Amino acid sequence: MIQGHCECNRVSYEADCEILDFSHCHCSQCRRLHGAAFATFASVATDNFQYLSGEEDIKEYASSDD
């Protein structure tokens, strides 16, 4: 079981499955936002993912038009 939440705790989620893939991003934005040399991201099956709270607070963000 994987569980997590956003920084302000308004959105929480869980995934009852194995991680399908993961990656580390070393771009300047990820390094700045995470205060580390890289940020780690994991992929899970959408069928096994669910929001526990705050789904209505999810917003879309793009750092550029690309």
**pLDDT tens figures, 46-55:** 999 999 999 9
Contacts of residue 25, Cβ cutoff 8 Å, sequence gap at least 6: 38, 39, 40, 41
- For the whole model, what pTM was predicted? 0.70
6-10, 56-60, 61-65: range with lowest mean pLDDT? 61-65
Q: How large is the average pLDDT for residues 12-31?
A: 94
Task: Round the average pLDDT of the chain to a whole number and report it.
Answer: 93
Residue holding tokens 């390094």? 31
How remote is the C-alpha of 59 from its chain's centroid?
Answer: 13
User: In this structure, which amino acid lies at residue 50?
Assistant: Q
pLDDT (0 to 100) of residue 31: 95
Confidence check: pLDDT of 66 > 80: no
